[in-house]
Structure 1
Amino acid sequence: MIITLIVAACLAALAVAWSAPYENSQSYRSEGHHFMGDDTLDFKERLTISEPSAVISLLERQGEKERHIAVGASLVERSRWRVTFKVEDIQASNEEQLFNVSRHSELLFSRQYFRLGSILNLAVIPVRGDALCYYILELDRLRCMNN
């Protein structure tokens, strides 16, 4: 009886540890703004994880100018608390930045990790409902997205 309870507890712990913190093939979205002096850079971001791959897409808009970036990644590791991606492909609608990168280096820094072969580690923060919250270790950025 005691052995059965111990085995059941271990199996329950493994199920929680191995379960994904996201719903497979579900798109998670967020919108926001970066204020840059007199200018505002609006963005819409989407993350879709369809095991064994993922797509991160970003639409940036500043005034009349617009730029779309799609990052294809493979899922390297997944647990309840961490998701690790490897950047496999990057597509941009144009190579021109929408803002002066010399004046806004914090935005340029975040793009340095969107290079082929880069590894992104997402520390998942438990939340209730249909949201996905994570902290991107390499970018020092917290992100919460809704589906």
Structure 2
Amino acid sequence: MNFVRFKHLFILSGMALLALAGIVFDRPAYTKGVSYHGTNNIVLNSGEMIHSEERLIIGDTLSLAVIEKSDANLNYASLSAKAVSFGRRTLELEIQQAQSSRSNPLSGLSEVPDVFFGRQYGLATGAALHLEFLPTQVENTICYYVQELDYVRCLYR
């Protein structure tokens, strides 16, 4: 057997094995049952500061809780959604229940596109949400993109 004659076959076979190993050993972007937490400070056009904290737990049911504080105003919102399909980098959800402690969002939130509960879609029971998890360099961090809301958030354990 002449090695020169089959060297391209060996190279292509090696590349195929590496690609297959990458697919098989790719760890999911999120861990079920783990609580992820994040904080965010938002400065409105008026100069007012809104501080938000959120907690996300992914399982057969996704649970998201958000607290938004602005001066003396406080809003607590929660969302629970049933996981319809799991993927290594995607998650498809159906909203089961969404609640907010305020009937109207905090004043000024409508000018900020980065607020989840200021959007009507986020409170629609039965609506579908598609989460795509983005690659991160930090092991205890997840970043996800919600297609329907054009919303990106990074949280940590």
Instruction: Give the TM-score range, shorter chain.
Output: 0.7 to 0.9
Out of 90, 104, 111, which is 1:104 matched to? Answer: 111
Matches within 5 A, 1:42-121: 42-50=51-59, 52-100=60-108, 104=111, 106=113, 107=115, 111-114=119-122, 115-121=124-130
Cα distance between partner residues in 1 of 2:89 and 2:42? 28
Pair 1:43–1:54, CA change in 2 (3 A): same
Q: Please report the TM-score for the alignment, with normalisation by the length of structure 2.
A: 0.75
* Deviation larger for 77-86 or 92-101: 92-101
- The number of residues matched between the two structures is 138
State the Cα RMSD in Å: 2.7
Q: Is the 8 Å Cα contact of residues 34 and 58 (structure 2) preserved in structure 1? A: yes
Residue 109 (structure 1) shift: 8.3
Matches within 5 A, 1:19-30: 20-30=28-38
Cα distance between partner residues in 2 of 1:59 and 1:92? 10
Give the aligned partner of residue 3 of structure 1.
none
Structure 2, unmatched stretches of 5+, are 1-15
**Structure 1 vs Structure 2: percent identity of aligned residues?**
23
Residue 56 (structure 1) shift: 0.8
Q: Is the 8 Å Cα contact of residues 79 and 99 (structure 2) preserved in structure 1? A: yes
Cα distance between partner residues in 2 of 1:105 and 1:11? 43
Structure 1, unmatched stretches of 5+, are 1-5
Give the aligned partner of residue 40 of structure 1.
49
Q: SS of the counterpart of 1:23? A: coil
Would you identify which runs of 4 or more consecutive aligned residues in structure 1 move more than 4 Å? Answer: 9-12, 107-110
Cα distance between partner residues in 1 of 2:33 and 2:116? 29
Considering fraction of residues, name the structure with more strand.
1
Structure of greater Rg = 2
Residue 93 (structure 1) shift: 1.9
Q: Please report the TM-score for the alignment, with normalisation by the length of structure 1.
A: 0.79
